[in-house]
Structure 1
Amino acid sequence: MEQNWFECSIRYEKTMENGMLKKVTEKYLVDALSFTEAEARIIEEITPFISGEFTVANIKRANYSELFPCDEEVADRWFKCKLAFITLDEKTGVEKKTPTQVLVQAADLRDAVKKLDEGMKGTMADYEIAAVAETPVVDVYPYAADEEGGHEERREPTATELLAACRDGEKTEVVVRGQNVIVDKTGKNTVVITYSYDNNEKQSPN
């Protein structure tokens, strides 16, 4: 099934190795049907990992035709690979190049090229690599495969309908994965505040 990727920018205060708090912006990719669903999905996915306040600063479409993830521990970075598929017009004999972009999870640039070639082995068409560059993407959230059939199955995240009830200019409270979440759309960006059931006081980000 075709995937629609959205790049989401999340801004929050992160505790650095020296114990100091620093305002950071992290980028994540989610597979979604719309901007609204992408916002709901990213809030649902990262809520367990960020306690306190974070802002969905930006959401934009990401044009990747293919994704090559890797479960190796050292493969902790994502690389954007620009390719050109090469086809030959049988009548004119002229070469035609069709550009496309894929995302590869790898340890470094050399590993990214290696994993790209491995991922493209089943491709019948010839291709050339135009560019490979590291991206700031922290993590990627595709739709989970259906456990019984093993097929990709689109599902509405549990927070989608609740978030849809929070229109621009409004504030609402939802529950995401067992945590209370306040969604505030009264400003320019969506601000999310999470807190536990046991303690209703806002917590500092991890």
Structure 2
Amino acid sequence: MATWFLGKIRFTKEIDAGKFQTVTEAYLLDAVSFTDAEARLYDLLGDNAPDFRVISIVPMKVQEVFHVEGPEVKWYKVKIMITTFDEKIKKEKKNAASFLVNADSIHQAHDRVEEALGRVEDYEITDVALTPILEVVPYTGERTDTVAEIAKDLLDSMQHLSKKGVEVEVSINEPFPEEKKRTWNAEPEKEKPLKTGKDYSPRSKHQNYPKVDSVNYD
């Protein structure tokens, strides 16, 4: 399943001789992490807008993106309410879902989502809104699903950003279990003599070690 991030960039462009304008653009990217999303933005736009800076990257909850071949470049977010019947409690339940579709108008976006969903679900379209998204960038290859592959992708993205001159800071605030810690060291730790007296506090068998939780960058 795709994980979508809404990335916004800002840059200055010349509109007339001697006149400049600050422009903000939004892109929706399928990425495995915040850092991966930023790296994909630089890959996508680096040559076209060399002086841009990323001002925000936030997750965007979208169940599905419907791309219809054609000249339509506007992207609409369509919200629906799905009604299901819970056999256990014998009551109807309503669940919200959001979709993104390219269209020329609100009416066309409404019709395209209806056509895509068909009548397989009992649903009602509750809202159709134009988004600022200029382009949707899905993954073209096979997605990485394992932790090792995601970690490798994250490291590759960080190296890519570093080459671009973007500073990457990793915040560490959660523990790793003991078995994870041992993989970090080529040589085993030397045993330390036990302390005695009132100040003695035995070491826990599963002492906390740091784990990468999130990536922050300016």
- Provide TM-score, normalisation by structure 2: 0.66
Map 1:23-172 onto structure 2 (within 5 A): 23-50=22-49, 52-73=50-71, 75-90=72-87, 93-121=90-118, 124-144=120-140, 146=141, 152-154=142-144, 161=155, 163-165=157-159, 172=162
The answer on whether the counterparts of 1:56 and 1:189 sit within 8 Å (CA) in structure 2 is no
- Decide which structure has the larger Cα Rg and report it: 2
| CA distance in 1: counterparts of 2:45 and 2:26, whole angstroms | 11
Contact 1:55 1:189 in 2 (8 A): no
More helix as a share of residues: 2
Secondary structure of the residue aligned to 2:166 is: strand
SS at match of 2:108: helix
- Which whole-Å deviations, capped at 9, do the CAs of 1:136-193 have from their partners, x for residues lacking one? 111110001x5xxxxx54598xx964551488xxxx4x3xxxxxx443569x964xxx
What per-residue deviation string (whole Å, max 9, x for no partner) do you get for residues 21-73 of structure 1? 210111101001111111111111111321x3110111000000010112211
Task: Give the number of aligned pairs.
Answer: 166
Q: Does the 8 Å CA contact 1:41/1:160 hold for their aligned counterparts?
A: no
User: Match of 2:97, SS?
Assistant: strand
The C-alpha deviation readout for 1:77-111, integer Å capped at 9, x for no partner, is: 11111111111234655321110111111111111
Q: Which has the higher contact order (CA 8 A, sep 6+)?
A: 1
Paired letter, 1:100: A
TM-score normalised per structure 1? 0.70
